[in-house]
Chain A
């Protein structure tokens, strides 16, 4: 049964439909603005710092699931200008720990129904996801992941090189290479999605509920009272608002949904995080005809590749080893990428790279995020998303909204609390979350 999107039920956003497209094509009527440019308010019930997938999804679910609409999303640049617009748009749920699998699977469920829920085509392509194994130890990890996945009801299995070749004919599965393909973890529900559309969908839906989206608004300070540190910041205190480049806002609840600047924003409230910021470089080739039907990932060769609907190959790699906030590209990255990709797919040797770019990744020691409350009351974090933030966007928003609205940490994100580092209770996802190890 088809359901009407809650956004359209609100009658505050125009419905996107084929009929509407044809009608507007033949008339002079234009589409309305996708979201408002709201007045800058001085008080909100919840202030969300960071206008990417995580921040906008949190705002949307606060309004849609909990009826909290007096919310502001503050974004330093434009919506989706950070990691949300820089990732390689891959979604999957074949993680290594039961906590991780349950969490990312919920995200995939939300991605599946997103186009209908948000009344926007997010171009979700469930094309299948191959994680190649080039060594015995990698193959062992693939079996481990497949078993954890199957126990949680995730479609995931280990396949042999012949099956890899059948699914993706362009891969070289011969033994005459430095790292022969010994097998792969095959995850049919994995795929790609248009990351900008996800940002726009959540922004439009949140705006329709009355959430104020403030772009070009930089947070300069987080205002606290009663804490141990200077100016009432630090553990034991509580948050009372934020100081921005456009003025002060008072708010009892502040959610830090930034990537790259998570430590900077948290330090404004006197909270230290187990995070270092590293750039991750990606690159895209010129468009060619469709020949790559799956998403291919190789941990040993530190690369992942998929083909967009337009025909470009999108490559991603592991994070750069050096912590920095600079997003410049390096020649080492391009050289390594080219040699590794050619080892996998010798047939694309004549293709040219169009451009390369970098995004900032907040790496945690265990490759799992940091979510939930902090020692400063009212100051919540949804940070430390490393190289896997985009695929977790919807579920993070849903769970953070529940956490903020109910004042209780939901079960699904309880393993990812900041206090796990003082308990020594880490959620080690490196084997499934990173290609650089």
Chain B
């Protein structure tokens, strides 16, 4: 069993969250070439090692967050809230609408 550290709820069984996979920043749809857009859609690094990936706390606080996981050892580190805020801070800190 993998205990995933949700930044709001704390450690939870991975089966209680929704896995969202490898995270990549989306290219601007108006600027990207078809080749860039399709590699964003389909191509993945899929590393055997450290990977930054998205999780959704679907049966808890319903927060989207990312963390780094080692795909060969199962170690976890650095859960980050949207906007790359460090875990533990309030989601709304007044700097965003």
Residues of chain A having any CB pair with chain B under 8 Å: 261, 263-264, 267, 272-277, 321-326, 330-332, 365, 421-422, 424
B53 within 8 A of A: yes
B39 at interface, CB cutoff 8 A: yes
With A332-B15, A422-B35, A422-B38 as contacts: A324 and B44 at CB distance below 8 Å: no
Residues A263 and B2 in contact in the complex (CB < 8 Å), given A272-B39, A332-B15 = no
* List of A residues within 8 angstroms of B21 by Cβ: 276, 323
A275 touches B38 (CB 8 A): no
Please give, as numbers and ranges, the residues of chain B lying within 8 Å of A264 by CB-CB distance. Answer: 46-48
Q: Once bound together, how far apart are the Cα atoms of A277 and B48, in whole Å?
A: 9
Q: Are B1 and A330 in contact (CB-based, < 8 A)? A: yes
**How far, in Å, is B29 (CB) from chain A's closest CB?**
15
Centre residue among A264, A274, A322, A421 by max chain B CB count within 10 A: A322
Roughly how many angstroms separate A391 CA and B19 CA in the complex, as a whole number? 29
Measured in the bound complex, the distance between the Cα atoms of B47 and A264 in whole Å is 7
Judge whether B45 and A267 touch: CB under 8 Å: yes
1/0 contact trace for B52-74 toward A, CB 8 Å?
Answer: 01000000000000000101111
Is the CB–CB distance between A323 and B46 below 8 Å? yes
Query: In the complex, are the beta carbons of B53 and A323 less than 8 A apart?
Result: yes
**Within 8 Å CB of A323, what residues of B?**
19, 21-22, 46, 51, 53, 71
Whether A261 contacts B48 by the Cβ 8 Å rule is yes
CA distance A276 to B74 in the complex (A): 16
CA distance A264 to B48 in the complex (A): 7
Residue on B nearest A426 in the bound complex, by CB: B42
From the candidates B18, B19, B42, B71, name the one contacting A274 in the complex (CB within 8 A).
Answer: B42
- Using A276-B22, A330-B1, A422-B38 as known contacts, say yes or no to A325 and B44 having CB atoms under 8 A apart: no
A229–chain B nearest beta-carbon distance, Å: 14
Partner of B42, one of A261, A263, A332, A365: A365
Measured between beta carbons, the chain A residues less than 8 angstroms from B15 are 330, 332
Q: A273-B43, A273-B44, A323-B46 given as contacts; is B53 within 8 A of A424 (CB)?
A: no
Contact residues in A for B14 (Cβ distance below 8 Å): 322
> Across the interface, do A424 and B38 meet the contact criterion of CB distance under 8 Å?
yes
Given A324-B69, A324-B74, 4 more pairs with CB closer than 8 A: A272-B44, A323-B21, A421-B38, A421-B43
* CB atoms of A263 and B19 under 8 A apart: no
Interface size on B, residues (CB 8 A): 27
Which residues of the other chain, A, contact B71 by a CB distance below 8 angstroms?
Answer: 277, 323-326
**Closest 6 A-B residue pairs measured CB to CB?**
A263-B46, A274-B42, A272-B43, A421-B42, A322-B19, A321-B19
**Contacting residues, chain B, for A267 (C-beta < 8 A):** 45, 47
Partner of A325, one of B35, B43, B48, B53: B48
**With an 8 A cutoff between CB atoms, is B83 at the interface?**
no
* CA of A15 to CA of B41, assembled, Å: 52
| Interchain residue pairs with CB less than 8 A apart (21) | A261-B48, A263-B45, A263-B46, A264-B46, A267-B45, A267-B47, A274-B42, A274-B43, A276-B21, A276-B46, A277-B46, A277-B48, A321-B18, A321-B19, A323-B22, A323-B71, A324-B69, A325-B48, A325-B72, A326-B72, A421-B42
Bound Cα distance from A42 to B74, whole angstroms? 37
| Distance between B48 CB and nearest chain A CB, rounded to angstroms | 5
Q: Does B34 contact A (CB under 8 A)?
A: yes
- What residues of chain A lie closer than 8 Å to B38, measured between beta carbons? 421-422, 424
Q: Which chain B residues lie closer than 8 Å to A322 at the CB level? A: 2, 14, 19
Please name the residue on chain B nearest to A332 by beta carbon: B15
Taking a contact as CB atoms under 8 Å apart, the answer to whether A276 and B19 are in contact is no
**CB-CB < 8 A to A276: which residues of B?**
21-22, 44, 46
Q: Determine the distance from Cα of A422 to Cα of B38 in the docked complex, in whole angstroms.
A: 6
- The residue in A277, A332, A422 that gathers the most chain B C-beta atoms within 10 A of its C-beta is A422
A422 adjacent to B34 (CB under 8 Å): yes
In B1-51, which residues have CB < 8 Å from any A CB? 1-2, 14-15, 18-19, 21-22, 34-35, 38-39, 41-48, 51
Complex: A321 Cα to B47 Cα, angstroms: 16
Residues on A with C-beta less than 8 A from B42 are 274, 365, 421
- Determine the distance from Cα of A264 to Cα of B45 in the docked complex, in whole angstroms: 9
Cα A272 to Cα B45 in complex, Å, equals 7
Q: What is the bound-complex CA distance between A321 and B4, given in angstroms? A: 14
In the complex, chain B residues whose CB is within 8 Å of the CB of A272: 39, 43-45
Contacts of A274 in B (CB 8 A): 42-44
Encode B63-89 as 1/0 by CB contact (under 8 A) with A.
000000101111000000000000000
A263 to B44, CA, bound (A): 8
Shortest Cβ distance from residue B27 to the other chain A in the assembled complex, whole angstroms: 15
Are B74 and A263 in contact (CB-based, < 8 A)?
Answer: no
Q: Which residues on A sit within 8 Å (CB–CB) of B51?
A: 323
Q: Please name all residues of chain A whose beta carbon is closer than 8 Å to the beta carbon of B47 when the two chains form the complex.
A: 263-264, 267
- Chain A proximity of B41: nearest CB distance (Å): 8
Contacts of B1 in A (CB 8 A): 330-332
